[in-house]
């Protein structure tokens, strides 16, 4: 593996060559940055992976059942397992999706589940991303490059080949495709932070990459318009545009990114939308608390993977605990994503702690609190030195005919020695994730 | 249900392919022509760059040769500079990854990285940019090799051939080169219904006459360039 580790700069040059960047807005100005790759992989032994795989499939299956239930019978609410206000006050709850059934009842086709490993080796789920989880393309292309740059590393180590992600995506899109029309990836455009991913996945899955304006709805069918104004039927849209911008006639009327009348075509079952609309209700940080209960409720199984110990100020007992232990907890604003809205109590001055307390008291539903997990640090190269940094793992679970976990994932690490925040938008880097054959 | 294979090209993509072809060819030919002028200046008065620039109808004024070279190669505010040409090629290429493939795109990326590094070092010797010429040749090779969709490849090539005609007319290349490129362009555009303006096509068919071309009539050349640049309806 030493050869590969020494090749970090070579791999990064290859990534630059292929335009592997992510976009970021700073002070209103769009900038594209390289996503720094660290060549020391995260290695997951086969036994650990088997457990993770089972736990992730179980979790995503339960979340899909929950989404169907929320927009149909609401049995989980009626049975008092999830309080109604958590569902209906969630920003992600979408009344327009009531009674709408996506093809094959699949809501979360691509789930990005964030995990961390504690120092004792135990894995914890940190977050479920069920709307538009991004990041798979980086380890995908990195593996292709590292195999080229250091073939002997892969001859000497029995690492599962992870270059099949695009195949998993394609199979899933084909499965949910409703009419044999084209598979399309809908991007908001070049200035989206994940544009590289949109274009790379289109290349690798053979899907059409559509920009705003390329798709329209005619007679309740979605069509792609070519240069001669001819229409081509679309059967599946892997959209990388948020729900609120997806159909200006139903959601945000000023949106230029969406497809007018898409909701009508979708409701009639004339197009599959990946991921389905309305998923935000299930990846709400408040709903996260209830996922283990969902697993018991829908699958009658014990959860294989644990949540990070979480408190909801909504519950009286938790509320008191949070206010008493605020300086030891990590507090998350349920409406934020991308590492924003995450505050470590220990980093706050007494004045700021008091301010936060007031905010929690004023709007308890807006917050969750978690115990700080002592992450297992991973080694990274800082210059030529090996140093340890916090890292998480985003596992990608693809739900089509069956639910499958991609045998790799995005390992993100913090470059700042004092930080637990690993998001690329906050300066983090990434590593390859090796799953060992045995 | 397996999705059908759809090779449809949207109007926006067609436009981007065309302009990617044009910008890639413009930078490639600019480097080639600059090298020729660079050589001329060894024996000349040193003012030859003025003629080079005049032929491109450039408006930015550079007081001397060194500022011309630095400005023409690296000035991001000059839309006619090499770095601007590569930026524009890249702006189109980056949104066409799935059509042209990552490998083809990579040669535009490499060219851009190279010219930015040269700009940072203040390189004025044109031969130091030879890598960009090599990358652009590789770009066209990769396009031929890796783009399976004839429509995508031909749209790129239409852009290339239009730019080739434009630059060659400006720099008084022999008539047979212009005429050959024009025939290739028509052949290349043959599969695209209505992509060439029929009125301009007729005018160009008439205008491309060897005697007229060699007459040094500036109005003729102006007209020729105008028609070449308005021929494609994208």
> Using one digit for the tens of pLDDT, what is the confidence trace for A325-335?
999 999 998 87
Say whether both B32 and B69 belong to one domain.
yes
Between the alpha carbon of residue A109 and those of residues A130, A177, A277, A291, the distances in Å are: 8, 12, 11, 17
Q: Would the CB atoms of B3 and A226 count as touching at under 8 Å?
A: no
Instruction: Judge if the upstream peptide bond of residue A275 is cis by omega within 30 degrees of 0.
Output: yes
**What CATH class is the domain A311-371?**
alpha beta
Identify the band that residue A178 occupies on the pLDDT scale cut at 50, 70 and 90.
Answer: very high
In tens, the pLDDT along A197-250 reads 999 999 999 999 999 999 999 999 999 999 998 999 999 999 999 999 999 999
Query: Which residues face A404 on adjacent strands?
Result: A398
**Chain B nearest C-alpha distance from A163 (Å):** 16
Q: What percent of chain A has pLDDT over 90?
A: 83
The residues near A105 (Cβ < 8 Å, ≥ 6 apart) are A64, A68
Specify the pLDDT at position A339.
64
Specify the pLDDT at position B61.
79
Say whether both B125 and B217 belong to one domain.
no
Say if residue A413's pLDDT is above 90: yes
When pLDDT is averaged across residues A405-434 and rounded to a whole number, the result is: 86
In tens, the pLDDT along B85-144 reads 999 999 999 999 999 999 999 999 999 999 999 999 999 888 999 999 999 999 999 999
Backbone φ/ψ region at B216: left (φ over 0), alpha (ψ -120 to 50), beta: left
User: Which residues on chain A are in Cβ contact (under 8 Å) with B95?
Assistant: 189-190, 195, 199, 209, 211
Specify the pLDDT at position B41.
83
Q: Which residue has the higher pLDDT, A28 or B219?
A: B219
Max Cα–Cα distance, chain B, nearest Å? 71
Mark which residues 325-354 of A lie under 8 Å from B by CB: none
Say if residue A426's pLDDT is above 80: no
Separation CA A59–CA B175 (nearest Å)? 71
Specify the pLDDT at position A424.
65
Separation CA B83–CA B26 (nearest Å)? 11
Specify the pLDDT at position B84.
97
Residue B187 belongs to some domain of the structure:
yes
For an interface test with B, the pick among A182, A227, A269 (most B C-beta atoms closer than 10 Å) comes out as: A227
Domain end point (choices B147, B175, B199): B147
Residue B3 belongs to some domain of the structure:
no
Q: What percent of chain B has pLDDT over 70?
A: 99
- 3-state DSSP helix/strand/coil % of chain B, to nearest 5: 75, 0, 25
Q: pTM for the whole thing?
A: 0.93
- Which residue on chain B is closest to A176 by alpha carbon? B1
Q: Would the CB atoms of B3 and A228 count as touching at under 8 Å?
A: no
Write out the residue range of the structural domain in which residue B209 sits. 148-234
Say whether both B61 and B93 belong to one domain.
yes
Q: Would the CB atoms of A211 and B6 count as touching at under 8 Å?
A: no
Identify the band that residue B221 occupies on the pLDDT scale cut at 50, 70 and 90.
Answer: very high
Tokens of A89: 């006050």
- Which residue on chain A is closest to B111 by alpha carbon? A17
Specify the pLDDT at position A89.
87
Q: Which residue has the higher pLDDT, B33 or B38?
A: B33
User: Which residues on chain B are in Cβ contact (under 8 Å) with A190?
Assistant: 91, 94-95
* Nearest partner of A126 among A395, A432, A417, judged by Cα: A395
Q: Would the CB atoms of B11 and A225 count as touching at under 8 Å?
A: yes
Say whether both B143 and B154 belong to one domain.
no
Cβ(A40)–Cβ(A5) below 8 Å: yes
**Chain B nearest C-alpha distance from A143 (Å):** 15
Domain end point (choices B127, B147, B167): B147
Strands A110-117 and A391-399: antiparallel
Domain ranges of chain A: 2-302+375-435, 311-371
Identify the band that residue A375 occupies on the pLDDT scale cut at 50, 70 and 90.
Answer: confident
Q: Would the CB atoms of A202 and B113 count as touching at under 8 Å?
A: no
Which element (helix H / strand E) includes A331? strand A329-333
Q: Would the CB atoms of B105 and A18 count as touching at under 8 Å?
A: yes
Q: Would the CB atoms of B94 and A199 count as touching at under 8 Å?
A: yes
From the list A18, A232, A235, which residue is nearest B102 (CB)?
A18
Separation CA A423–CA A35 (nearest Å)? 11
Residue B141 belongs to some domain of the structure:
yes
Specify the pLDDT at position A231.
95
Quote the mean pLDDT of chain A: 94
Residue B225 belongs to some domain of the structure:
yes
A48 contact B CB<8A: no
- Which residue on chain B is closest to A401 by alpha carbon? B1
Q: Would the CB atoms of A199 and B13 count as touching at under 8 Å?
A: no
Say if residue B170's pLDDT is above 80: yes
Give phi and psi for A332, each to the nearest 5.
-125, 135
Q: Would the CB atoms of A202 and B105 count as touching at under 8 Å?
A: no
Say whether both B140 and B222 belong to one domain.
no
Domain end point (choices B111, B132, B147): B147
Say whether both B17 and B132 belong to one domain.
yes
From the list B4, B94, B102, which residue is nearest A180 (CB)?
B4
Q: How many domains does chain B have?
A: 2
CA angle, B230 then B232 then B234, to 5°? 110
Q: Would the CB atoms of A224 and B98 count as touching at under 8 Å?
A: no
Residue B6 belongs to some domain of the structure:
no
Specify the pLDDT at position A337.
64
ipTM of the complex: 0.91
Say whether both B131 and B27 belong to one domain.
yes
Specify the pLDDT at position A95.
97
Residue B27 belongs to some domain of the structure:
yes
A206 contact B CB<8A: yes
**Sign, Cα dihedral of B59, B64, B69, B74:** negative
Say if residue A419's pLDDT is above 80: no
When pLDDT is averaged across residues A76-105 and rounded to a whole number, the result is: 95
How many contacts, defined by CB atoms under 8 Å, are there between A and B?
A: 99
Residue B4 belongs to some domain of the structure:
no
Separation CA A405–CA A400 (nearest Å)? 11
For an interface test with B, the pick among A17, A19, A185 (most B C-beta atoms closer than 10 Å) comes out as: A19
Q: Would the CB atoms of A16 and B113 count as touching at under 8 Å?
A: yes
Say whether both B135 and B157 belong to one domain.
no
User: Which residues on chain B are in Cβ contact (under 8 Å) with A222?
Assistant: none
From the list A202, A206, A225, which residue is nearest B10 (CB)?
A225
Tell me which residues of chain B have a C-beta less than 8 Å from any C-beta of chain A: 1-6, 8-14, 91, 94-95, 97-98, 101-102, 105-106, 109-110, 113, 192-194, 234
Say whether both B131 and B177 belong to one domain.
no
**Chain B nearest C-alpha distance from A196 (Å):** 8
In tens, the pLDDT along B55-95 reads 888 877 788 888 888 999 999 999 999 999 999 999 999 99
């Amino acid at each position: 593996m030493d050869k590969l580790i020494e090749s970090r700069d070579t791999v990064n040059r290859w990534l630059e060559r292929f335009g592997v960047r992510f976009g970021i807005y700073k002070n209103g100005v769009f900038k594209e940055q390289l996503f720094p790759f660290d060549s020391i992989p995260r290695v997951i032994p086969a036994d650990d992976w088997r457990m993770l795989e089972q736990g992730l499939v179980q979790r995503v299956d339960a979340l899909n059942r929950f989404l169907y239930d929320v927009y149909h019978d609401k049995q989980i609410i009626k049975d008092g397992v999830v309080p109604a206000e958590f569902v209906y006050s969630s920003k992600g709850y979408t009344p327009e999706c009531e009674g709408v059934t996506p093809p094959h009842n699949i809501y979360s086709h691509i789930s990005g589940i964030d995990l961390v490993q504690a120092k004792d080796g135990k894995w914890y789920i940190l977050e479920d991303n069920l709307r538009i989880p991004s990041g798979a393309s980086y380890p995908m292309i990195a593996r292709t490059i590292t195999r080229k740059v250091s073939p002997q590393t892969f001859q000497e180590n029995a690492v599962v080949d992870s270059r099949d992600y695009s195949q998993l995506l394609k199979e899933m899109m084909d499965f949910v495709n409703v009419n044999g029309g084209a598979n399309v990836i809908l991007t908001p455009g070049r200035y989206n932070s994940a544009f590289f991913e949109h274009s790379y996945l289109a290349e690798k899955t053979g899907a059409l990459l559509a920009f705003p304006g390329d798709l329209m709805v005619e007679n309740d069918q979605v069509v792609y318009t070519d240069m001669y104004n001819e229409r081509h039927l679309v059967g599946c849209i892997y959209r990388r545009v948020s729900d609120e911008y997806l159909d200006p006639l139903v959601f945000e009327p000023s949106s230029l990114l969406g497809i007018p009348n898409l909701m009508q075509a979708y409701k009639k079952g004339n197009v599959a939308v990946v991921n389905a609309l309305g998923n935000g209700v299930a990846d709400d940080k408040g709903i996260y608390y209830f996922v283990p209960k969902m697993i018991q409720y829908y699958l009658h199984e014990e959860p294989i993977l644990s949540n990070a110990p979480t408190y909801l100020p909504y519950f009286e007992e938790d509320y008191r605990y949070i206010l008493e232990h605020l300086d030891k907890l990590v507090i998350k604003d349920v409406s934020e994503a991308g590492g924003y809205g995450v505050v470590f109590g220990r980093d706050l001055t007494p004045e700021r702690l008091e301010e936060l307390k007031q905010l929690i008291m004023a709007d308890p539903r807006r917050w969750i609190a978690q115990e700080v997990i002592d992450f297992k640090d991973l080694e990274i190269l800082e210059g030529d030195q090996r140093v340890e940094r916090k890292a998480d793992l985003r596992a990608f679970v693809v739900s089509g005919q069956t639910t499958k976990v991609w045998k790799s994932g995005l390992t993100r690490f913090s470059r700042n020695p004092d930080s637990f925040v690993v998001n690329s938008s906050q300066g983090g880097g990434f590593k390859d994730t090796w799953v060992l054959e045995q | 249900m397996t999705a059908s294979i759809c090779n449809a090209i949207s109007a926006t993509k067609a436009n981007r392919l065309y302009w990617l072809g044009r910008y890639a060819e413009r930078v490639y030919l600019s480097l080639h022509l600059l090298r020729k002028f660079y050589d001329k200046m060894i024996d000349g008065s040193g003012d030859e760059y003025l003629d080079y620039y005049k032929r491109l109808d450039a408006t930015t004024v550079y007081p001397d040769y060194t500022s011309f070279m630095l400005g023409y190669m690296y000035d991001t505010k000059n839309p006619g500079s090499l770095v601007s040409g590569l930026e524009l090629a890249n702006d189109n290429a980056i949104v066409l990854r799935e059509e042209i493939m990552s490998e083809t795109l990579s040669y535009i990326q490499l060219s851009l990285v190279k010219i930015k590094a040269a700009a940072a070092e203040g390189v004025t010797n044109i031969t130091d940019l030879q890598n960009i010429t090599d990358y652009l040749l590789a770009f066209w090779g990769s396009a031929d090799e890796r783009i399976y969709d004839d429509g995508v490849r031909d749209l790129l090539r239409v852009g290339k051939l239009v730019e080739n005609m434009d630059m060659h007319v400006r720099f008084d290349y022999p008539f047979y080169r212009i005429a050959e490129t024009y025939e290739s362009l028509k052949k290349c555009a043959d599969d695209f219904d209505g992509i060439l303006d029929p009125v301009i096509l007729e005018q160009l068919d008439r205008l491309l006459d060897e005697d007229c071309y060699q007459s040094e009539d500036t109005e003729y050349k102006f007209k020729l360039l105008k028609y070449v640049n308005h021929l494609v309806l994208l």
